[in-house]
Amino acid sequence: MSAQPPDDAPSPAAFGALFDVYEVRQQDGRVLYFGRAGTDRRTIEQELWPLFREHGYEVQLASRTGELVLVADPIDATSDGIPWKNVALFVATLASTLFVGASWYYVDPFSPEIVQAIPFTLAILGVLGVHELGHYAMSRYHDVDASLPYFIPFPSLFGTMGAVIRMRGRMPSRKALFDIGAAGPLAGLVAAVVVSAIGLSLPPVSVPTDIATSASAVRIEFDYPLLLRGIAAILGEPLGYSDPTRSINPVVMGGWIGMFVTFLNLLPVGQLDGGHILRSLVGETAGRIAPIVPTALFGLGAYLWVVRDAGNAAGIWLLWGVLASVVTLSGSVEPVDDRPLDRRRMALGVLTFVLGALCFMPLPIQIV
């Protein structure tokens, strides 16, 4: 052995018969253990990963110039203090949703009346934030390094493109992959149901007569998923009005966007939430199932475009067909411990996909 590992790194003697080390090098902060495998690659990584984690390292078995090497990367445990980037993006998204929300209440966004849009902003950011915090909480529970949510401001109908968290390091197990993947959609869906119920219970918004009766006004029509329709039926509240001067309370749209985002995130491809859940449920078979998804999205888009003449809605699914193709090609997360899930998580995974299906809308938005 030409060198010894640093004091904080695992000793090769601790590897036993799993990996016979004949050389150790330090390179760019990494520790490289060159050796001979005593068993298959998956077993080596699965057995040694906890040891390296205890010493503050991520580890992966790789091949370099024909030699097997355990590559140990130190885990960055430093804190950057206040996450200014997260804070700045949140404030920007708060402003963008408030500005866009003013149009939902038919008020001037440059006047004090903009405060009327605060419920809309809270509904949108609340649902999206709860979704991402579900991922974050489970990441911390399983000791997976994850950032706080990054909100994305965007001048759209809702003032945002959603939110994301960033995860670093390897996924410990299928159990962790499932818990982290399912926690976001389930938490976000609970928030969407609550927000929808609140919005449906609030009074409708008055539409100015000149807008309601204008022949040149552009009308945006929203479809509603079965889940939202069910909530409205239970509460005995309408999802629309025959009177053009009355419009559904914009808070309901917080629930709508939450359900739509849930469905999209549960598409079982790549590193979307649905891809994580599918990978944890069926293992490597997920790679053979995932390509079906973009094909189905392209098929739906083509059907709406050609048969239903619904170009606007068709564009959404064609775009997501492209995105799903890209995500599928990027592959799925490979957990260190790839042992199957317990029956309780298997059942919850199936239920999660069923709930996601209740959020599906073939014609989510149409511009008339």
pLDDT digits (tens, 9 = 90+) for 271-297: 899 999 999 999 989 988 988 999 999
E strand or H helix at 163: strand 160-164
Retrieve residue 62's tokens. Answer: 């790789």
Which pTM was predicted? 0.89
Weakest-pLDDT range from 72-76, 148-152, 281-285: 72-76
Buried b (16+ CB within 10 A) or exposed e, 49-68: beebbebebbbbbeeeeeeb
Q: What is the mean pLDDT of residues 92-103?
A: 96
- The ranges of the chain annotated as CATH 3.30.70 are 12-74
Is-contact 8 53, C-beta < 8 A? no
| Percent of the chain whose predicted confidence (pLDDT) is above 70 | 98
Helices (H), the chain: 41-54, 84-104, 118-141, 174-201, 209-212, 226-235, 251-265, 273-282, 286-289, 292-306, 311-329, 343-357
Give the three-class secondary structure for 107.
coil
Confidence check: pLDDT of 213 > 90: no
CB of 56 within 8 A of CB of 74? Answer: yes
* 220 bridge partner residues: 367
C-alpha–C-alpha distance, residues 33 and 29, integer Å: 13
Angle value at C-alpha 189, between 246 and 186, nearest 5 degrees: 180
Question: What's the average model confidence in pLDDT over 183-197?
Answer: 97
Tell me the mean pLDDT in the region 262-271.
Answer: 94
Residue whose structure tokens are 């309901």 = 252
Q: Is the pLDDT of residue 201 over 70?
A: yes
**Higher local confidence (pLDDT), 310 or 301:** 301
3-state SS class at 26: strand
State the burial class of residue 129 (Cβ atoms within 10 Å of its Cβ: 0-12, 13-18, 19+).
Answer: buried
| Residue 209's pLDDT band (cuts 50, 70, 90) | confident
pLDDT at 78 exceeding the cut of 90: no
pLDDT at residue 241 above 90? no
For all residues of the chain together, what is the average pLDDT? Answer: 91
240 is written with which tokens? 């629309």
| Residues 124-143: tens digit of each pLDDT | 999 999 999 999 999 999 98
Rounded mean pLDDT, 222-236:
96
Q: How many CB atoms lie within 10 A of CB 110?
A: 9
The sheet with strand 19-27 has its strands ordered as 19-27, 30-37, 67-74, 57-64
**Sole residue written with tokens 């699965």:** 46
Nearest-angstrom CA–CA distance, 3 and 33: 10
The CATH code that applies to domain 12-74 is 3.30.70
